[in-house]
A and B are shown apart, each in its own frame.
Chain A
Amino acid sequence: MIGAVDRGDTGRSHSVEAAVPWVGRGHVLDLDDFSHQELESVFNTADRMREILARPVPRVPSLRGRSVVNLFYEPSTRTRVSFELAAKSLGADVVNVSASGSSVEKGETLLDTVRTLRALGANVLVVRHKESGAPYTIAKQMDIPVVNAGDGTHAHPTQALLDAYTIRDHFGCIEGLRVLIVGDIAHSRVARSDAWGLTALGADVVFCGPPNLLPATALKDDGECMPWPVRVDFDLDHAIENVDVVMPLRVQLERQEGNRLASLREYARDFGITRARLARAASRAIVMHPGPMNEGVEIDADVAHGGQSVVQQQVTNGVAIRMAVLYLVVAAAAQNSNGHKTPLVPAPGLSGKVPV
């Protein structure tokens, strides 16, 4: 451990072998290149953040003087508020920019908008965009951390982190758990990022939905072509047998171009999570939902608010996870600008990553 000498202000010297296994990741765009260890380090950091949120004054001064800009090109309540509370709990200033009512309506390009925000003093950009890959384009142009808050049908890494964190919280360990994700997988950035994160953590993930709402790669050779080791099942009553986690996805009516969905009633009949269906899952099973829920379509109200539902815990954990992500990206960016050897992971390209 040469050179691993910590000279903190107490003049102690201890090896820093226990340093965070965070590889200097200055952006969080998807979970596709996260290792098991890195995910654990996010969860451990989130554990500490959750303790802060339980204090009488749920705020630390870590990001004081820094500005976090939420740039949202798509409507969102929970994700934006969650990021806003997370940034404020770390002491940051928060600016919310939405596409409507901003100069985007006057025809300003995405990159011009982010350059302007950077020039105005933004220190972290949280981006949601309807186009898959938009945060990658921004990250390549920016010298400040970019966090993807959902891009098109591609990725939603902080949602996947909070999902995995909630599962870990409930079961203690994710390895070997059976996780069933039901619904419109083809349009779901949540399902994609969940698949990366949960399979990296050793879960046994099953996608279930009508064939026309599953990614094309899922239909070929029983899903062998998908980038994750995920099984595919078209029959919910079969797929739900003995699973530990049931996660229905929202039927995204705004993304149903070309009438892929025949009728909501038919969907609810075949793929809605009802109490009777849930009884076929493991008795210890939990129900999750990324929200917002269409009660009576993909999930029945009594399941959504029943004893097995952890939907509210997901929302609460989301703030802690986003605090952890904001802390880690800012610290990694600072580490890099301080001239440390660990380079920032360059913004990866999108090539081959979108299995549509």
Chain B
Amino acid sequence: MKTDNTAKGRTKRIRMNGYLTAGLIITGFFVLLGIIGMFWTPYSTTAMSASEKFAAPSLAHLMGTDNFGRDILSRVMKGLGTTVMVGVLVVLVSGTAGLVIGALTGYFGGIVDEVIMRINDALNSFPSILMALVVVSILGTGSRNVIIALSIVFIPSFVRVVRSEYMRCRNADYITNARLMGVSRIRIMFVHILPNIMSTFLVAVTVGFNNAILAESGLSYLGIGVQPPDASLGKMLSDAQGYLFKAPWYAVFPGLTIVLFVLGFSLIGEGIQRNNRR
């Protein structure tokens, strides 16, 4: 049989590229650090020591100590654990909700779509950090409430991405074909369409994860997020503010951790996107 091989092969294998590799290494390092931090830290995160106040970075304290003489590395590790947990849970909850709502509105369209999208627009018209502030002030502070607040706030952005992808796919010939076969609507939505929008959705997830981390840090910085004595990167930054010149490492290391962590995730997102474009 004669075949022409002009059609470009599209394999399912995930292709690595520079962005993806660098992103995975950076993120992997910090996630590992955070997970270790949940079970073990070099020093106790709450043990204070008056004699070691504001100790500069040294072999004993790699990142130095803070205003109570606590080891900053240990607290960064602990804080990372909190941050990763908040990020993962927020993305899990809002991503799933966004996927389901977006799939329904995008696939069915019509009046349901109109109503949900207008609610979505209303939610979107407030800055997300402000919305989170409102929710937290109603529910109270603490990491559980931060997760609930951020999950609600992040749903609209997921809905928007998923909806537009479903609208793109729902008129494709292969979906019409599936309808003609008598495949149920739910199965079309989540078995036939979902894998085709997965790469776009993953990019949205990386962006959402980043935003969740930054928002959590922001809320903790404002003092309404994670409460002491729990460590959080945002809270550490806000505490370090007063000692910026006296002990710059206090602000630098938690700040650097947030920046690198977010950078790593952005690189992963960029890497996925570049793979899609090819």
Question: Does B bind A?
Answer: no
